Amino acid sequence: MTKTTGGKRRRAQPPQRSGGLPAVARKSWPVALATLLLLALAIPAAFLMAPGFLGPEPPATAPAPPAWQQAPATVASPQGLAALQPSAPVPAATAVTAQVDPALQTESGGTFTGVVQDALTGQVLYDRGGTENRVPASNLKLLTAVAALRTLGPDHRFSTQVVPGPDPGQVVLVGGGDVLLAAGESRPQQTMGHAGLATLAARTVEALQAAGTTGAVKVLLDDSLFSGPALNPAWQAGDVEAGEVAPLYPLALNAARFDPAVTTGPRPQDAAMVAAEEFAARLRAAGAGAGLTVAAGVERSPAAGRAAVPHAGAGPSAPALPPAVLAKVDSATVAEQVDLMLQVSDNYLAETMGRMAAVASGLPGSGEAAAAAVSAQLAAAGISMDGLKLLDVCGLAMENRVSARQLTEVVRAITTGADTRLRAALDGFPVAGLTGTLDTRYGNAATSGGAGLVRAKTGTLNTVLALSGYVVDADGRLLVFSFVGNGLTPGAAGNKEALDRAATALAGCGCR
């Protein structure tokens, strides 16, 4: 390139070098540095700003929780006995006696009898006066459970029905053996209150509306399913006054309690009428918006016994009702009621079960027939009847007589006998230190080894204590046992602990 200066032409000179770099390079170096610095700052900034444009980075896959924190794939098996191993060693009788005898000692008088058997073979491993006829107290309920399960069946339910009355404008509430009724809505997940009178009233209103019924309605009561004395003559007046039992009727609220949460003190003396009056009140409330009025007062029906109530449907999905029945509600199953009876030792429920077993056997629904039905079912189940004497079926009567050997045979029939219907009673045995009438026991150093392992029905009267049940010993062998104390000093704490010590000895027994 040629430049002109002052009229003269001069060839352009090449740029001079300084330090080996061209001048242009010297001038662009700061720019390059700045560019590099900006890039160095921009790259981290880009990583920081990118989530704002690209969204959050997907989280890393979390490891699966351990097995015990995962939701179960299947429903757990019902509570009961695991499969027994016949190969487990049978304890030696001498070793069992050496463990149980020192534990089974009375305090301040009286005597204990007892029997321990191997459940699978029936071999007697311990026997102290096992065939003596004793007052069994509430251990008698085990016999009643067997009779109810054999005659009625574990899945049977009792119906409380409403049928048309003998005259127009009348409805009859018919008791069918459910004494666990609730005043309010049915509670299908519970045993007590499984069937509710408010639900029965609502269904009755629906039926009356469908039939075109309007105006006044009169409620009558049919409680004729039970017969004979409502109170057993063998019961002591003090027990009745204390609320241990009440007059028996084929329908009642809360096992003939004013409040299901209060299980001591006075009880209704006419539980059927109390339930009928509650039903009338619920019907009055339910019918108010349907053009129905309910007359005050409830009377017993002159046409008692017209409804066939001993057998009920299977529940909400039962077939359509016969035309004669306006509405009904069904109880919890017999199996569920038997379990409740054993867990809390409910005398009223036990007597009801005995009477319903009698009705199912074709006998009257009386206390005397209940005792006869229980005895007959025990004999049919192969239980020895020697010296057996039943004055009631709940165990309150002091004239009852059952031996420890008979009680162990009953427990053995439930746990391992040929009649599998009796397995339904297994869950009814209270668990030591955890449930039912054993929930506050097995808490000291002498008995804590049996907590959670011993399962047994308790029995308590003033001078009587009993404990009959089953336990798997330390070697995996199922043992059944019964210990019965008579003539004991009332209130002597050592007697109840003696029973628990003896059962705990069996739980820890590696008796070979």
Phi then psi for 311, rounded to 5 degrees?
Answer: -120, 135
Give yes or no for a contact between 69 and 63, defined as CB atoms under 8 angstroms apart.
no
- Is 162 in a helix, a strand, or coil? strand
Continuous H helices in 64-196: 93-103, 141-151
Cα of 184 vs its chain's centroid, Å? 20
Catalytic positions: 138, 141, 345
Q: From the CA atom positions of the chain, what is the Rg in Å?
A: 39
Q: Give the C-alpha separation, 232 to 351, whole Å.
A: 10
Residue type, 371: A
SS (H, E, C) 202-237: HHHHHHHHHCCCCEEEEEEEECCCCCCCCCCCCCCH
Q: Which residues of 320-348 are buried (b: 16+ CB within 10 A; e: fewer)?
A: ebeeebbbbbbbbbbbbbbbbbbbbbbbb
Q: Which two tokens stand for residue 315?
A: 């529940």
Give yes or no for a contact between 216 and 284, defined as CB atoms under 8 angstroms apart.
no
Q: Give the C-alpha separation, 443 to 438, whole Å.
A: 10
The 10 Å Cβ neighbour count of residue 512 is: 9
The 10 Å Cβ neighbour count of residue 476 is: 13
CA nearest 483: which of 55, 168, 132?
132
Q: Give the C-alpha separation, 113 to 129, whole Å.
A: 5
Q: Give the C-alpha separation, 15 to 93, whole Å.
A: 121
Residue 484's contacts (CB-CB under 8 Å, 6 or more residues apart) are: 112, 113, 114, 134, 135, 136, 139, 403, 404, 407, 459, 464, 465, 466, 468
